[in-house]
Amino acid sequence: MADHSIQYHHHGRFKVLGGVLPDAVTAYQTYGDRSNPCIVFPTCYGAKLGLGSQSYLVGENKALDPTRYFVVTFALFCNGESSSPSNTPAPYNGPYFPAISYEDNIRAQYAVLQHLGVTRVLCVVGFSMGGQQAYHWAAVYPDFVDKFVAICSSARTSPHNICFLEGPKAALKAARDFENGHYTSPPQVGIRAFARAYSAWAYGQTWFRQHLYRMDGLYPTLESFLCEAWEGRFVTNWDANDMLALLETWQRGDISIVRDGGDFAGSLRAIKAKALIMPCKTDLYFCPEDSVNEVSQLRDAELAVIDSVWGHAAGGGANAADVAFITTKIHEFLA
């Protein structure tokens, strides 16, 4: 049976977009028996394996049931668990960490699966940056993946999305304690500013209008919600250089630069895997119109819009109703 503890695969010298990592490390977890069909479930922005970020879909009777599938969860480079600015020794520590692409992550994850003896992947499932990895899996290894599920995500980071990300990035980099990434203690001013700028787009406008941030009285004011749910989470769990490096991986996401020299429509048409694309109708990060366009160009794709006021957070386990909808759709897709 699989070991649920976090494991670490050492790749040795590993070429990445911005240069090389002398000893690249990929953190991962496994669930279920290796003889079962394999499902890959990589992390999104703000997610860590050690925080249980993947647990809303992984577990018995959940969308990804370890009694039926061999589930492998992967930590993105730069998330603080796999190779990141915060855990890489000199000369590639902190602000000197090389640029990372989605393709770098997929090649590393593929190496881990080879180590585990996986010869084929039934499905790659991902939310947000995880969904972008699912698209890249289908583009980088077209004959290795049968299906993929992209939840509140896209095959290419849109100009609108890139522009939004410039806001929290600028807030962090301009903070008086960030020191161009050479800080010697956590730059709380910058991290808190980043968290506030980032949070404003995480939920739909209707969600805020209905004051759902109060969470049934848990947060009496919007200020308490921002301070505890957002500032607190990032200050407690994240390194500032990791946050920036991971965000820049998100910004440069584009399956068309992997194999087809910028031909986005051609890259979509070339994908062989069957796809389930699930945008949320109120998502301000990955707008549903982009998903409609992508589905129209994929060979074999189903569109299932999450009808929710929770915006981008609808796809990440923020509330039970949306998780139930996602779970049902994944069960139907995998059946």
Task: Give the whole-angstrom CA distance, residue 61 versus residue 325.
Answer: 14
Rg (Cα) of the chain, in Å, rounded? Answer: 19
Task: Give the whole-angstrom CA distance, residue 327 versus residue 335.
Answer: 12
The distance in angstroms from the start CA to the end CA of the chain is 23
Residue 69, phi then psi, degrees to nearest 5: -130, 155
Q: In what order do the strands lie in the sheet with 38-42?
A: 7-16, 19-31, 70-74, 38-42, 121-127, 145-151, 274-278, 301-303
283 is catalytic: yes
Contact 73/228 with Cβ under 8 angstroms? no
312 is catalytic: yes
Q: Is the peptide bond before 91 cis (omega within 30 degrees of 0)?
A: yes
Residue in 86, 242, 312, 322 annotated catalytic: 312
Contact 244/270 with Cβ under 8 angstroms? no
Task: Give the whole-angstrom CA distance, residue 117 versus residue 34.
Answer: 8
Task: Give the whole-angstrom CA distance, residue 145 versus residue 121.
Answer: 5
Residue in 283, 291, 308, 322 annotated catalytic: 283
Task: Give the whole-angstrom CA distance, residue 137 versus residue 290.
Answer: 19
Residue in 82, 128, 154, 256 annotated catalytic: 128
Task: Give the whole-angstrom CA distance, residue 79 versus residue 85.
Answer: 9
Contact 282/310 with Cβ under 8 angstroms? yes
49 three-state secondary structure = helix
Please list the active-site residues.
Answer: 128, 283, 312
